[in-house]
Amino acid sequence: MPVGAVSGSVIQRTFVGADLPEALFAASVPLSEVGNERTDFNRLVSEIIAVPSNALLDDSQYRALAHQLTTQDWPRRWLRYAPSPYWEEWAPAWERREQDLVQEMQSREGSVRLFAEHSVALMLSGDRQLAPYWFGGPLFPDEFRRRLGVEMDEAAFGTGVACLSARLQRSERASRFTKAVLNYDLPHGNSPRASSDSLLRLLDSGKKMCLAPMAAGGTYGIAQLSQGHYVAAILSVGTGSVMTLILLGSVAVGSLLVARLAQRRAEAQGPPTVAA
């Protein structure tokens, strides 16, 4: 093969659960192939996923939102005073999940791993729609955001609420699947010099992350998408200090990176020349 005929590669893995109807897609590419370290991360991800940058929810926003939602008392109050004979059974279960989540947040503080695991829970949930309810009460984004004191776009706010809700309601099967996926190696780097790291290590060395809903039919190679699909973008440091962009999604995300590579090649070559 001629030298330089292949300048990079996109490596994709598909994780299929033994007892789950959903699959998780992961793709990686060296950051240098799609951008550079000086590129604004949110803008780069916005261009790759083809959604407005204001719709992206980043890791710092999610940490702030998750903290606010887990320290507020109204979900517990609503459940306690709701006319339901099941409250005595619901209360202990809710409190256990809440305590587990708070401990999880404390142990993952400063890491994108928490956000990534919650995003996987959202992608694996049977109903990925942005529900207009939060613990049974109507969700009015503007009023809710003001009460929480968080500054973010309405779309990003809805994604954050859906993400945390999916984690709180995560099934044991989804939890086992998530733990297993984290131990799988995800190849990265330029083939044939590709190396690999476990997804867990890549998340622990993650620098930035954002989550966005997919735009139906708005991306190359993916058609007829149903509402409620998400893609998480993670900037991580792999083996050999290679800065790597990782996409996790509920749809095949490798084609998004391939489209970005093709766009970069076309931009580098410039407009075609026309013979006189």
One digit per residue, the tens of pLDDT, for the chain of length 276 reads 454 555 567 888 889 888 888 889 999 888 888 887 788 999 999 999 888 888 899 998 998 888 887 776 555 554 554 555 555 665 666 667 777 777 777 767 767 989 999 999 999 886 545 444 455 455 556 666 676 667 778 888 888 888 888 888 888 899 999 999 988 888 765 655 567 788 888 888 888 999 998 765 444 444 433 456 899 999 988 766 778 899 999 888 888 888 888 887 777 776 655 554
Give the model's pLDDT for residue 75. Answer: 52
Angle at 29 between CA 196 and CA 245, to 5 degrees: 95
Cis omega (within 30 of 0) for bond into 271: no
| C-alpha span between 164 and 187 (Å, rounded) | 29
Give the model's pLDDT for residue 11. Answer: 82
Q: Which residues of 190-206 are buried (b: 16+ CB within 10 A; e: fewer)?
A: beeeeebbebbbbbbbb
Give the model's pLDDT for residue 19. Answer: 82
What residue spans define the domains of the chain? 11-269
Helix axes 154-168, 59-71, angle to 10 degrees: 60
| C-alpha span between 236 and 239 (Å, rounded) | 10
| C-alpha span between 203 and 241 (Å, rounded) | 14
Give the model's pLDDT for residue 83. Answer: 52
- Three-state DSSP class for residue 94: helix
- Three-state DSSP class for residue 129: coil
70 close to 103: Cβ distance less than 8 angstroms: no
Give the model's pLDDT for residue 43. Answer: 92
| First CA to last CA distance, the chain | 34
